[in-house]
Amino acid sequence: MEKQNYNHLTRTFQRLSRFDHLSAIAGWDMFTNMPPNGSTARGEALAELSVLQHQILTDKKIATLLQAAVQENLNDVERANLREMTRQYQEAILLPASLVEEKSLVGTRCEHGWRTQRPANDWQGFSTNLKEVVRVSREEAKLRAEAKGKSPYDALLDIYEPGMSSAKLDVLFGDLRTWLPDLLQKVVDKQAKESVITPVGPFATQDQRELGLETMKLLGFDFNGGRLDVSAHPFCGGVPEDVRITTRYDEGDLVSALFGVIHETGHARYEQNLPREWLGQPVALARSTAIHESQSLFFEMQLGRSKEFLKLLLPMVTARFGKQPAFESTNFTAVNQRVERGFIRVDADEVSYPAHVVLRYEIERALIDGEIEVEDIPALWDEKMQQWLGLSTKDNFRNGCMQDIHWTDGAFGYFPSYTLGAMYAAQLFNAAKRALPQLDSDIAEGNFSALFDWLRQNIWQHGSRFTTSELITNATGEDLNPLYFRKHLEARYL
């Protein structure tokens, strides 16, 4: 039978996808609804599920089927799917099931502890759990590094961003270092001469939620295939058929939750528009974490903080919260394009944001490669925050090295995706503007159909059919070029 081996593989990966579905929804529930005492049992259940998936994926017959399928008469999409299946298999066989289970268990324990330890500024308690996560992550990195012939950190980076290396990142981030601090200073100096009125709260959580839902609707979110909830750290989870996004509310701050929602809606629209006819197969998954971040930052920064979109948003804001001096049109734009050196990454403006990312990248790489230990993180964090942003986080663990959730579950290698994503987003928006000369006026009128069609045609519908480099080159005419990001920041802020 033609394609017999390939078809057998598709059935296996469809099965794995269904387990992924259960894991994703159970994980979402853990972060949003689960009572504290459910943590241990949920952690054990998710670990059991990850072991089961690992056993299915690393079965000896998978290797035989993958080899045999290469000889079969496959079309382009099927070949891409086989490439992605092979990649998943090769990543999985590098780890024993016991390590997969241990990683899941220590990650759940660390994340659950973080929820109370962060508000309490309890670095001692947090670091005890984090040491276990780092120990397991280093073990994983060592196994992957030996098999791939890479450094431990690069072996983990490869999971999130295939084809990327710390050598390439050092060039990209080294370039940022030559111009970003100077640009940041110029923008801060320029804005210091401009008087901006800050919106005055309180902004009731329920009204903020309704504003967020209205904005999601404006941005094309499909509520028949997703929902909005609250969590300690905003995220986008679930599956393409049922996308779960979360934000967190502060009644003294209107902007944080709203732009958190816009950011996560970018992730969600990508998931909701992945190729439905391939769902359940690896080729239907998002290309990489940086491409995923490019979509959220496209929505939040390129589109969401443009003056055209902010003018569109303003009547929605005043309808909920009434008129006040801060909601005068020019001022509202200025509030949302304000550049300030701050402690919190998820609330950072797009000029200072890369500093937060490079700082984390440098620390996590040194941590995984064994150059530093967990105890060294707070002092290093403080030193790098002072270098980049002139801020001290000494003894302020809550707003320093404990603010993010990524390290709790061992997601080392993820952070570079944010700044890579910002670079891709600027390049994609530039290409979209070239393709759609009326784009600014379309945005001002709330007409996003041409823009979303462009994203669907160039990014969303392709899933993992192409490599990251091919996807970006097809969409924009060239591989990643960080110059677009710099030009975007200079044009908007100077």
Give me the pLDDT at residue 2, please. 84
Query: Per-residue pLDDT tens for 159-203?
Result: 999 999 999 999 999 999 999 999 999 999 999 999 999 999 999
Instruction: Determine the Cα–Cα distance for residues 173 and 358; give it in Å rounded to an integer.
Output: 7
Q: Is the pLDDT of residue 343 over 90?
A: yes
Query: Residues comprising the binding site for Zn(2+)?
Result: 263, 267, 293
Give me the pLDDT at residue 387, please. 94
Q: Where are the domains of the chain?
A: 1-94, 148-493
Q: Give the CATH class of 148-493.
A: mainly alpha
- Give the residue numbers marked as catalytic: 264
- The whole-model pTM stands at 0.96
Q: What average pLDDT is seen over the chain? A: 97
Give me the pLDDT at residue 229, please. 97
Q: Is the pLDDT of residue 1 over 70?
A: no
| Residue 52, φ and ψ in degrees, nearest 5 | -60, -45
pLDDT band of residue 122 (cuts 50, 70, 90) is very high
Kindly state the average pLDDT of the residues 87-91.
97
